[in-house]
Amino acid sequence: MTNSAASSTDEARVVDAVPTGLFIGGEWRPAASGRTLTVDDPATGKALCEVADAGPEDGMDALAAAAAAQQSFAAMAPRDRGEILRSAYEVIMDRIDDLALLMTLEMGKPLTESRGEITYAAEFFRWFAEEAVRIGGGYAVAPNGASRFLVQKQPVGVSLLITPWNFPMAMGTRKIGPAIAAGCAMVVKPAQQTPLSMHALAAILAEVGLPDGVLNLVTTSDAGGVMEPLIRDGRARKLSFTGSTPVGKKLLEQASEQVLRTSMELGGNAPFLVFDDADLDKAVEGAMLAKMRNMGEACTAANRFLVQRGVAEEFARRITERMGALVVGRGTDEGVQVGPLVDAKGRDKVVELVRDAVDRGARVHVGGEPGDGPGYFYRPTVLSDVPLEARVTSEEIFGPVAAISVFDDEDDAVAAANDTEFGLVSYLFTENISRALRVSERLESGMVGLNTGLVSNPAAPFGGIKQSGLGREGGTVGIDEFLETKYVAIGFAG
**Long-range own/partner contacts, residues 94-103 (CB < 8 A, 24 or more apart):** 95/204, 96/122, 98/13, 98/14, 98/17, 99/14, 99/169, 99/197, 99/200, 101/10, 101/11, 101/14, 101/332, 102/14, 102/15, 102/18, 102/196, 102/197, 102/200, 103/168, 103/169, 103/194, 103/196, 103/197
Nearer to ligand LJUCG4UG, 242 or 332 (CB): 242
**Does residue 302 touch ligand LJUCG4UG according to CB under 6 A?**
no
Q: How far apart are CB 456 and ligand LJUCG4UG at their closest, in Å?
A: 3
Query: Do residues 220 and 188 make contact, with C-beta atoms less than 8 angstroms apart?
Result: no
Stretch that binds ligand LJUCG4UG, among 31-39, 85-93, 297-305, 313-321 (CB under 6 A): 297-305
Catalytic residue among 106, 113, 123, 265: 265
Stretch that binds ligand LJUCG4UG, among 53-61, 152-160, 164-172, 356-364 (CB under 6 A): 164-172
Give the pairing type, strands 138-141 and 147-155: antiparallel
| Backbone phi and psi for residue 182, each to the nearest 5 degrees, phi listed first | -80, -20
**Does residue 456 touch ligand LJUCG4UG according to CB under 6 A?**
yes
Q: Tell me, rounded to whole angstroms, the distance of Cα 314 from its chain centroid.
A: 33
Cβ within 8 Å of residue 94, ≥6 positions away = none
Q: Is position 265 annotated as part of the catalytic site?
A: yes
State the Cα–Cα distance between residues 466 and 464, nearest whole angstrom. Answer: 7
Interface size with ligand LJUCG4UG, residues (CB under 6 A): 9
Nearer to ligand LJUCG4UG, 373 or 461 (CB): 461
Nearer to ligand LJUCG4UG, 290 or 362 (CB): 290
In the sheet with 469-470, reading across from the earlier edge strand, the strands are 27-29, 22-24, 215-217, 186-189, 159-162, 238-242, 261-265, 469-470
Nearer to ligand LJUCG4UG, 166 or 381 (CB): 166
Q: How far apart are CB 436 and ligand LJUCG4UG at their closest, in Å?
A: 22
CA atoms in the 13 A half-sphere facing the CB of 69: 25
Per-residue binder mask for ligand LJUCG4UG (CB under 6 A), 212-251, x = binder: ------------------------------x---------
Nearer to ligand LJUCG4UG, 44 or 197 (CB): 197
Q: How far apart are CB 466 and ligand LJUCG4UG at their closest, in Å?
A: 16
The interaxial angle of helices 78-94 and 111-131, nearest 10 deg, is 160
**Does residue 166 touch ligand LJUCG4UG according to CB under 6 A?**
yes
Q: How far apart are CB 284 and ligand LJUCG4UG at their closest, in Å?
A: 20
Q: How far apart are CB 398 and ligand LJUCG4UG at their closest, in Å?
A: 9
Q: How far is CA 274 from CA 136, 295, 412, 435, 438, in A?
A: 42, 21, 13, 12, 15
Nearer to ligand LJUCG4UG, 23 or 167 (CB): 167
- Closest by Cα among 36, 201, 205, 197 to 104: 197
Nearer to ligand LJUCG4UG, 89 or 462 (CB): 462
Q: How far apart are CB 70 and ligand LJUCG4UG at their closest, in Å?
A: 28
Nearer to ligand LJUCG4UG, 429 or 462 (CB): 462
**Long-range own/partner contacts, residues 441-444 (CB < 8 A, 24 or more apart):** 442/414, 442/418, 443/271, 443/414, 443/417, 443/418, 444/417, 444/418
Q: How far apart are CB 189 and ligand LJUCG4UG at their closest, in Å?
A: 16
Q: How far apart are CB 219 and ligand LJUCG4UG at their closest, in Å?
A: 19
Query: Do residues 139 and 151 make contact, with C-beta atoms less than 8 angstroms apart?
Result: yes
Return the active site residues: 265
Which residues here bind ligand LJUCG4UG, judged by CB under 6 A? 166-167, 171, 242, 298-300, 456, 462
